[in-house]
Amino acid sequence: MTKAKLIWLPGWAMSGEVFSELICSLPECEHVRLDYSGAGTVEEFYEMAESAVEKCFTDSYLSHSTFLSEDASAPESRHIPLILIGWSLGGIIAQRLAAEKVYPINGLILISSTSCFVRPRDEAHLGWSDVYLRRMQTKLQDNRQQVIADFCDRMFTPSKRQSVLTKHDNPHIPADTWSLQALYAGLDCLRHQDNRPLLPQIACPTLILHGGADQICPPTAAQELEDNIPKATLHICPDGGHMPFLNYPTQFSDHLRRFLYEMG
């Protein structure tokens, strides 16, 4: 399997700890987990991700003293592949970074994501109404815990909900560590970011992993991603919710490994 640097972008209100089990299953790779808890604006989400990519890209070259070799095809002159792994909101951010090509992204993995979260009524099968997110923002000031809890409840399939929500210190549920500004800005990103025009510009190999029972980003949104990203491959986990890696941990790790192996 190709040694790679994996940059993990979490979803709304979530910690990078949500990826802990997946990261442990890939000890050969280097891992960077983003923390959005202190972001104050939509652009800060993107700036934080871009800074992480820039640092990984720079470090990968500095760690190879022979990168200035005249033979650019020599193995020792190549930087370590950079892979963006975005879940939900993190996937929306990762799509934009991959499309803009400011730094070379060698692979993109989108977990339970969408190109455009908010949809009009005639596209309700692809996303949510803006009204719902506006209500969430209005309620955040007075009862942030309840807003997060209600959103969290939608993430899990009935078979997983009880076991996950009753487990203490579970990294798969929000730890309520995001600032109010970060929560609000994250919802703004979901409300306003529309990556559909950018999808054809994503040139790197892309793996899309999605739950067939996802109540937050419908499977039809994943199909839309595959249809419009040139080198995309979609795998649907039939009974998976918004966290399909909970329902299918082994299969998920296998998909990631196969994707990295094929890149090599």
Quick: pLDDT tens for 162-188. 666 655 456 666 667 899 999 999 999
Strand order in the sheet with 30-33: 30-33, 5-9, 82-87, 107-111, 206-211, 232-237
3-class DSSP assignment, residue 207 = strand
CATH match for 5-263 among 3.30.420.140, 3.40.50.720, 3.40.50.1820, 3.40.190.10 = 3.40.50.1820
Give the span between the Cα atoms of 113 and 116, in whole angstroms.
9
Residue 144 has pLDDT above 60, yes or no: yes
Give the bridge partners for 207, in sequence order: 109, 233
Question: What's the CA dihedral at 101, 110, 180, 170 to 10 degrees?
Answer: -140
pLDDT at 75: 44
3-class DSSP assignment, residue 222 = helix
Half-sphere exposure of 150 (CA within 13 A, CB side): 12
Q: How many CB atoms lie within 10 A of CB 261?
A: 10
Residue 59 has pLDDT above 50, yes or no: yes
The confidence band for 66, taking pLDDT boundaries of 50, 70 and 90, is very low
Residue 68 has pLDDT above 60, yes or no: no
Give the span between the Cα atoms of 137 and 173, in whole angstroms.
19
CA-wise closest residue to 109 among 200, 232, 230, 240: 232
State the average pLDDT over residues 74-103: 86
Residue 113 has pLDDT above 80, yes or no: yes
Q: 234-264, pLDDT tens digit by residue?
A: 999 988 899 998 878 889 999 999 999 988 6
Give the span between the Cα atoms of 190 and 204, in whole angstroms.
24
Residue partners of 46: CB distance under 8 A and separation at least 6: 93, 96, 97
pLDDT at 172: 61
pTM attached to this predicted model = 0.91
